[in-house]
Amino acid sequence: MPAEKKLTIALAGNPNSGKTTIFNVLTGTRQKVGNWPGVTVERKEGRIRRNGYELRIVDLPGTYSLTPFSIEEIVARDFVLEGHPDVVIDVIDASNLERSLYLATQLCELDCKVIFALNMADMARSRGIKINAEKLSELLDVPVVFTVGNKEEGVATLLERAIETAETERHPSSRRRVKYNNDIEAAIERLQGIIEAHPQLGLSYSPRWTAIKLLEDDRIIRERIAALATDCCSEILTAAAEERRRLMDLFDEDPEIVMTDERYGFIAGIMKEVHTTSSKQRVDISRNIDLVLTNRFIGFPIFLFFIWAMFQITFSAGAYPMQWIDAFVGMLSTGVSRLLPDGLFRALLVDGIIAGVGSVIVFLPNILILFFCIALFEDTGYMSRAAFLMDRIMHLIGLHGKSFIPMLMGFGCNVPAIMAARTLESEKDRILTILITPFMSCSAKLPVYIILAGAFFGLRAGGVIFGIYLLGIVMSIVTGRLMRSTLLKGADAPFVMELPPYRLPMLKSLLIHMWDRSKIFLRKMSGVILVGSIVIWTLSYFPVHVPYSTDYDRAAAEIRSRYAQSMQTATAPQRQQLEKERDRALRELELKKKAEKTAGSYLGQLGRLLAPVFAPLGIDWRGGVALLSGFVAKEIVVSTLGVLYAAGDREEPDALQQALRRSGMTPLSALSMMVFVLLYLPCLSTVAAIRRETGSLKWMAFSIAYSTSVAWVVAFLVYQGGRLLGYA
């Protein structure tokens, strides 16, 4: 059987053009997500087999041009130039053809093999837009395919045409290139001639494209040519500088501005040939929806309602599968306890690993639902509206709506959210955004809220969790205002953000987005949470022998003897009831023994040292130890509580919540603990991200000290204020 031929297909396109939707349709779950080498921009790849080919599909970052101003533009251009894909699919929003053609013409100038996917063709038709695909293909010598990504229409045809284009030997014709005016074309030809006269340079770019970039004073191309350090390099750079001066004298403008105008003129000519709009008046559904959702009076309350609904659904809908997983963990714990003899190994498995990891894994359904809702906001186009709505509020702290996008990402995980702040132009804006983003409650904190709110607030749990998330937003605004008026003074930056049209999300795409983000949570189960649970159990188990206040073995024997005497004269139904009472009494005695054992352990000793710090917040020593362990990862707070409150005994449902209620914790102290978890120092990964992105140990240390101080003060006010109001 002949070996499969390998092809690399790159997907390029503007943001919100549906590029990632097509990528998800093509690759499904066969995706690999990481970062591009040296940068934090997300890189997605998928491998599929089709028609005897092994296809590597690469989803390039969304960008409006290939001018190297942003990281996304540099990554996309470098991959096309140096990654040498066999074909580039430019995903074009058919309802915004003119804007999309700017990137399309730049791709054509690279002389790579290109195919146009006119995506969202159904939306274009609904707006009365007609595009002559055959004429567009003829004018630019590029294959054109209509697609509707979220309905999977035309995607199979697109892939077939991409394979055909990759396999063709025909070199791209000159008619696909932008036709500049005579003076610019003459300058390009002179510079191109000099470059072609020195083939020893070994440039992987076409001479014409290189000449155009030098005339535009492209910094990266200039530096790469200069780095070759040959005599001809200085000749080329000198000639480029002379041509730029000549053009500036002719046009009294920078050549790059003139050439940009020429490209738009070229695009305008194409639009007249291929694009027509029906005279029939069409209703713009997105615009009408925006009249409500971005309304200055009701838009923000609607946004708050959506966020509230998201947490209500996360808590209520996740309760049932959470109970199923909890029951499975309980059966596993009971089964292991019965299979293994009493001893160190059984205690490690049951009280350490199963109690610790099991206490966290039960929240997987809630995490999945949360990420599904966030993906729903993104795929429908509402996430951009949320940033737009927050723009006015963000201006209160001297930032703009663009800074709210990393903060919104913080609902999932603070690490990529902090990395996303790289897109901000101002260094002060970037640092301020990084400092306030950890106040946005990440998904790792959600299990803590669910366990505490579920144990103490019942049906109001969803509303309480919503209030905690809202408090995080408020504290980020207060912190931003404080920082902007003291350490990070600066003027407000302007903000212009595209509001993409609303789209019906594709279930497959939503599930892929949800799963990609939830895999991080699952990886922690076998990594940091497993290790953390073992460490916490070890500290709680040793020393093995501690002095007890009661002879528990004797007390257990007395309970068995007392009930045995009562059962001798009891009827069968009475005997069953007495057996249940006996087992309950023995279980409570065993829990008291475990609690006293833990209090005398190394972990208990550490807890007593921390107790004076947390006592004013209504948090006992066990809660203090759990909060300390949360520095590694916030999920470990729950696993630590599971170990410390002896939740390895899972004879009853909701074992940890039952243990918390028995411990003497009150709703007010639970609320205080949730507030502290929300605001205190970020996890180890987030701290490392702050250090890396700010390039400063000072800002990292400041973030740790400031957030923890704020957490203590606010939790103190919540607990002591609640006591004064009679809620203790």
pLDDT digits 0-9 by tens, 472-494: 988 988 888 888 888 887 655 55
Residue 219's identity, in one-letter code, is R
Name the β-bridge partners of 11.
59, 89
Residues sharing a CB contact under 8 Å with residue 694, sequence separation 6 or more, in sequence order? 431, 434, 700
What the block records as the tokens of 534 is: 């073992």
Which H helix or E strand runs over 13? strand 5-13
Residue 368 belongs to what H/E stretch? helix 364-380
Q: Which fold has domain 5-176?
A: Rossmann fold (3.40.50)
Question: What is the C-alpha to C-alpha distance for residues 60 and 676, in angstroms, rounded to an integer?
Answer: 40
d(Cα 113, Cα 115) in Å, to the nearest integer? 7
CA neighbor of 498 nearest in space, from 90, 99, 20? 99
User: Which ranges of the chain have pLDDT less than 70?
Assistant: 1-3, 29-42, 68-70, 170-176, 200, 202, 229-231, 278-284, 400-402, 423-425, 490-499, 646-654, 728
Distance, CA of 678 to CA of 472 (rounded, Å): 7
- CATH 3.40.50.300 positions along the chain are 5-176
Biggest alpha carbon–alpha carbon distance for the chain: 114
pLDDT tens column, 14-32: 888 888 889 888 887 656 5
Terminal Cα distance for the chain, rounded: 76
Q: Where in the chain is the domain with CATH 1.10.287.1770?
A: 182-277
CA distance 538 to 531: 11
State how far the Cα of 189 lies from the Cα of 191, in Å rounded to an integer: 6
Report, in this order, helix, strand and coil percent for the chain, each rounded to 5.
70, 5, 25
pLDDT for the residue numbered 28: 77
- Radius of gyration of the chain measured on its C-alpha atoms: 31
Rounded (5°) CA angle 467-472-474: 90
Q: How far apart are CA 413 and CA 33, in angstroms?
A: 15
CA pair distance 200, 225, nearest whole angstrom: 12
- Using DSSP bridges, classify how beta strands 31-35 and 42-50 pair: parallel, antiparallel or unpaired: antiparallel
DSSP 393-443: HHGGGT--HHHHHHHHHTTT-HHHHHHHGGG-S-HHHHHHHHHHGGGS--G
Amino acid at the residue 467: G
Please spell the DSSP secondary structure of 244-298, one letter per residue: HHHHHHHHSS-HHHHHHHHHHHHHHHHHHHHEEE-SS----HHHHHHHHHT-TTT
DSSP state of 10: E
Phi, psi of 275 (to 5 degrees): -115, 125
How is domain 182-277 classified at the CATH fold level? Answer: Helix Hairpins (1.10.287)
Element (H, E) at 88: strand 87-93
10 Å Cβ neighbour count for 416? Answer: 17
Q: Which letter does DSSP use for residue 148 in this model?
A: B
